Structure 1
Amino acid sequence: MTTPLMSLTWTDHVTGRRGFLVVDQLVRGVSSGGLRMRPGCTLDEVASLARGMTMKEALHYNPEGRYVPLGGAKGGIDCDPRDPGAYELLVRYLRAVRPYIESLWTTGEDLGLTQDLVDRAAAEAGLVSSIQAVFPLLDDEAAARRRLADAFAVEVDGIGLDGLVGGCGVAESALTALDLAGVPYAGTRVVVQGLGTMGGATARFLTRAGLTVVAVGDIKGTISNPDGLDVEALLAARDVYGTVDRAVLRPGDLELPADAWSAVDAEVLVPAAVSYAVDTVNQERITARWIVEAANMPVLPEAEELLTARGVTVLPDVVVNSGTNAWWWWTLFGDIGPDADEAFTHTRRSMRALVEQMLARARADGTTPRAAAHAIVADRLPVIAERFGWYR
């Protein structure tokens, strides 16, 4: 990994807990990347995520588009989001890093945090917006901010559009891989580990495409049914952390241990919860032909090597889960309007083209999809730098 442009560690004067900010790279003086909160969060983890954001931004570069990719950054706080003092800690962190958010880091929700919570804490910390650093780059700031606010107000089946576009992108990534392999949707089984915003939306889109979700995992354990789960019922019974109320389970649904998701027979596995969920031990139990990384860094590099050796294709997070971030900027810069159908159509088209390009590059180079994604980024970064510059 290259050395990031800027890296800092903050220590909370009240609790002693630590927070981190890593700016991997700037484009036009601005970077983009979410803020996560989880117990055990580390500077190295945040640095890896920030580098991933640089890649996600570059992968969505379209010379004809209004959205110009930004640099990559990431924030993290070492705290359980369920802790009674988590919100106050979040506000203090945002106050501490306020100068960076005002000038060069645009941020939003990530693991453990919702956008509503980030927005409320940002306002309390004295910020205009968690993405205010990008405002000077907009042709018409008022119209752009109104467009994004209108998009966040859109709901589909009672769920905010912002909570669906990422899962739409993950699902389209999986469907593209199936199409290229000539595998029909009907009869294709899916396991989704993590039923939060990203995992839940992915499960919904894959089910509606005709695939069968046979297992989901949450913090309480694994719910499985070889004949297929009632995904809509499970989603409706989630709490804000993605934990399913077991009262909605049907007679044929099985309650299995927390780590059982890795051993459920399926063609597609979608790890959509925490980082490092697939390790060198549990990878041996995975039967899936494709692992579609909805979470950030869910497969350890050593595990990915072993999976690749036995013919499992890992579709990497830097491509697969990049749809949410791209949707923010497509909307803000005006490539799309605040409309659900337009958002889903644009997301599907963009993700399908990106996955097809990545898999074609992997075949041509004789490498993994992740290596191919890195190669595409390496080609694009100098082009972006030449056109826009890192700092201006």
Structure 2
Amino acid sequence: MTTPAATTGPLIELTWTDHVSGRKGYLVVDRLVRGVSSGGLRMRPGCTLDEVAGLARGMTMKEALHYDPRSRYIPLGGAKGGIDCDPRDPAAYGVLVRYLKAMRPYIESVWTTGEDLGLSQDLVDEAAAEAGLVSSIQAVYPLLDDEAAARERLAAAFAVDVDGIGLDALVGGCGVAESVLAALDRAGVPHAGARVALQGLGTMGGATARFLARAGLKVVAVADLGGTVAHPDGLDVEALLAARDAHGTVDRSALRAGDRDLPGDAWLSADADVLVPAAVSYAIDAVNQRRITARWIVEAANMPVLPDAEALLAERGVTVLPDVVVNSGTNAWWWWTLFGDIGADADEAFAHTRRALRTLVDRTLARAERDGTTPRAAAHALVADRLPVLAERFGWYR
């Protein structure tokens, strides 16, 4: 059913029930710009409408933060989809296909979507084709100057392989890593030897770990579904990446003699300068935040730090770089490529992503210092400045 949105709430809130399994799915369109919104589709057990609504609002902010009137890419509105199902369940693919069939009118007209937690882009594409869709992003096609050329350019970019990993699986982590480096640079902390612990070694976490290790940082702990792998002198990131499965779980037989296999929450208390939660939402709460000794938390996942935890962390001098800034690179890369700001080239994609994220992190931290607020509050203030500009140029849809 569709629930009417309040005047200050999302434009569309929709709850779907799978007639086969009884599982629930959700779609929230927070805002439209030029009639279109953008936001991925996640699948995880326990996914809720409130969670999807928060993510959709976050997408509105990510899009607005990347607005540059000089770019071909014009930000879209924010949206998000979610399915309450374990992606490892043998029935999950059928649920996904039926969800996309039910959402087909929205995907064809107002909602562009793609991979998110629990789903790969290849799987979304396969299910979308089975559901009768041209593409999971077909709603944006009418906004393109040359649809055929744009689609060819994006397809070519998705075919780019870097060291055995697709470019699309790397750009988000490149942006997260650059956010970490920007924060270190601003504080005058050398990259070499700086210590980082991550939760999650999937698409985002794995790419982040790779870029940070190559920048000279020591990745001292990585948490996955099997626990936390740690080494005080730094893990062999490339070996861990080579030994992970499709869900980012590392084969423990690949660990070195000095690597330690610790409980799953041990990454929180790792002796690190930076923590990167890159797996699930709501990972850091008011209780477990007490274990954190890191100076920075960089949100590669969506909504990993609960608000009450962030307030307590701020009191202790721990800086949280918010998800709406840090993990916005993947979404922006799609649109930079599709609209023609960059081509199907890895070096160009990484350079553009690094420039954009470094600028955004610097701007956010400078605003926080100026206003005496947290980086999240500063990012929200930047969004508040930009949304009226977008609304004046393209219209305001609530």
Quote the residue 1:99 is aligned against: 105
Instruction: Look up the equivalent residue of 1:89 and give its one-letter code.
Output: V
Does residue 210 of structure 1 match 2:231? no
Displacement of 1:235 in angstroms is: 0.4
Quote the residue 2:269 is aligned against: 263
Partner SS state of residue 128, structure 2? helix
Match of residue 321, structure 2, among 307, 311, 315: 315
Does residue 290 of structure 1 match 2:296? yes
Match of residue 28, structure 1, among 31, 34, 37: 34
Q: Are 1:59 and 1:376, in contact at CA under 8 Å, matched by a contact in 2?
A: yes
Quote the residue 2:3 is aligned against: none
Cα distance in 2, alignment partners of residues 187 and 76 from structure 1: 39
Does residue 173 of structure 1 match 2:161? no
Q: How does 1:302-341 map to 2 (within 5 A)?
A: 302-341=308-347
Cα distance in 2, alignment partners of residues 144 and 321 from structure 1: 24
Displacement of 1:84 in angstroms is: 0.5
Q: Deviations over 1:259-307 (max 9, x none)?
A: 1111111000000000001111111011110000000000011100000
Instruction: Look up the equivalent residue of 2:104 and give its one-letter code.
Output: R
Partner SS state of residue 265, structure 2? helix
Quote the residue 1:355 is aligned against: 361
Match of residue 380, structure 1, among 379, 386, 390: 386
Quote the residue 1:58 is aligned against: 64
Question: What count of residue pairs does the alignment treat as equivalent?
Answer: 391
Quote the residue 1:232 is aligned against: 238
Runs of 4+ in 1 over 6 A off after TM superposition: none
Cα distance in 2, alignment partners of residues 248 and 117 from structure 1: 27
Partner SS state of residue 76, structure 1? strand
Displacement of 1:133 in angstroms is: 0.2
Q: Deviations over 1:24-48 (max 9, x none)?
A: 0000000000000000000000000
Match of residue 15, structure 1, among 12, 16, 21: 21
Cα distance in 1, alignment partners of residues 319 and 61 from structure 2: 20
Match of residue 50, structure 2, among 23, 26, 44: 44
Does residue 109 of structure 1 match 2:119? no
Cα distance in 1, alignment partners of residues 372 and 184 from structure 2: 19
Cα distance in 1, alignment partners of residues 334 and 193 from structure 2: 34
Does residue 343 of structure 1 match 2:334? no
Q: Alpha carbon RMSD of aligned pairs, Å? A: 0.8
Cα distance in 1, alignment partners of residues 191 and 370 from structure 2: 26
Cα distance in 2, alignment partners of residues 202 and 98 from structure 1: 33
Cα distance in 1, alignment partners of residues 179 and 354 from structure 2: 8
Quote the residue 2:229 is aligned against: 223
Partner SS state of residue 7, structure 1? strand
Match of residue 203, structure 2, among 197, 200, 206: 197
Cα distance in 2, alignment partners of residues 80 and 158 from structure 1: 27
Displacement of 1:187 in angstroms is: 1.9
Displacement of 1:390 in angstroms is: 3.8
Q: Are 1:297 and 1:317, in contact at CA under 8 Å, matched by a contact in 2?
A: yes
Cα distance in 2, alignment partners of residues 24 and 4 from structure 1: 4
Q: Are 1:165 and 1:327, in contact at CA under 8 Å, matched by a contact in 2?
A: yes
Cα distance in 2, alignment partners of residues 366 and 257 from structure 1: 37
Does residue 89 of structure 1 match 2:95? yes
Instruction: Look up the equivalent residue of 1:206 and give its one-letter code.
Output: L
**Unmatched runs of 5 consecutive residues or more in structure 2:** 1-5
Does residue 277 of structure 1 match 2:283? yes
Q: Are 1:28 and 1:390, in contact at CA under 8 Å, matched by a contact in 2?
A: no
Instruction: Look up the equivalent residue of 2:182 and give its one-letter code.
Output: T
Q: Are 1:9 and 1:21, in contact at CA under 8 Å, matched by a contact in 2?
A: yes
Displacement of 1:123 in angstroms is: 0.4
Match of residue 6, structure 1, among 7, 12, 22: 12
Cα distance in 1, alignment partners of residues 326 and 266 from structure 2: 24
Cα distance in 1, alignment partners of residues 192 and 18 from structure 2: 52
Displacement of 1:213 in angstroms is: 0.4
Cα distance in 2, alignment partners of residues 209 and 167 from structure 1: 13
Q: Are 1:229 and 1:253, in contact at CA under 8 Å, matched by a contact in 2?
A: yes
Q: Deviations over 1:137-189 (max 9, x none)?
A: 00000000000000000000010000000000000000000000000011210
Instruction: Look up the equivalent residue of 1:109 and give its one-letter code.
Output: E
Cα distance in 2, alignment partners of residues 226 and 157 from structure 1: 27
Cα distance in 2, alignment partners of residues 389 and 145 from structure 1: 26
Instruction: Look up the equivalent residue of 2:284 and give its one-letter code.
Output: V
Does residue 244 of structure 1 match 2:250? yes
TM-score (norm 2): 0.98
TM-score (norm 1): 0.99
